[in-house]
Amino acid sequence: MRYYLSLGSNLGDRSRHLSEARGLLQKAGVKIIKESSIYETEPVDFTDQPWFYNQVLEVETRLNPMAMLALVKDIELKMKRVPSVDKGPRTIDIDILLAEKNVVQTQKLIIPHPRLSLRNFVMIPLAEIAPDFIHPLLHQPISALVQQTGDQAEVRKVVEPSTAQMAI
């Protein structure tokens, strides 16, 4: 199954944290198909905190959505993510944005991610690697939705995607 994942970090060596998360995903058997550039992004909601580094990955795995959720939560735990203030600072945050055309609505997991289309820090990197993907509930391509976020938070490209990770 193909997923789109959002990675974010705003504590310590943000770039290294994103790299470590990618490595742990691969070590768990998740194949990275595409990765966006890394973007430095202004915090949203809880604004009194350091800026984030964000990246979106297109990945492939045999894991179903609940197993994928368990994996990303395990990686966050391994990387010492400490729950604090809601939307507050963190070493790593991994969100499942999309799971092919699937819609999942459980107590623990909602796919597509419910705030996906409202956040520049997710939509801009997602549009970079999947502009033609049709949102399964909004029925519009990501390239159109990125123009409609209404989000005024600043997002600036920091690092181009690695060509080694771009191989399909």
Catalytic residue among 2, 14, 45, 81: 81
Cα distance between residue 93 and residue 101, in whole Å? 23
Identify whether 93 is a catalytic site residue.
yes
What is the DSSP-derived secondary structure letter of residue 31? Answer: E
Catalytic site residue from 93, 119, 132, 151: 93
Question: Does the annotation count 13 as an active-site position?
Answer: no
Closest residue by Cα to residue 68 from 108, 126, 128: 108
Whether residue 48 lies in the annotated active site: no
What whole-number distance in Å separates Cα of residue 72 and Cα of residue 76? 6
Helix (H) or strand (E) holding 33: strand 31-35
| Residues 75 and 25: beta-carbon distance below 8 Å | yes
Among 22, 45, 86, 95, the active-site one is 95
Q: Which of 90, 115, 151, 156 is catalytic?
A: 90
Look up residue 119 and give its two tokens. 């956040």
Told to judge if 16 belongs to the known catalytic residues of this protein, a careful annotator would answer: no
Q: Which residues are catalytic?
A: 81, 90, 93, 95
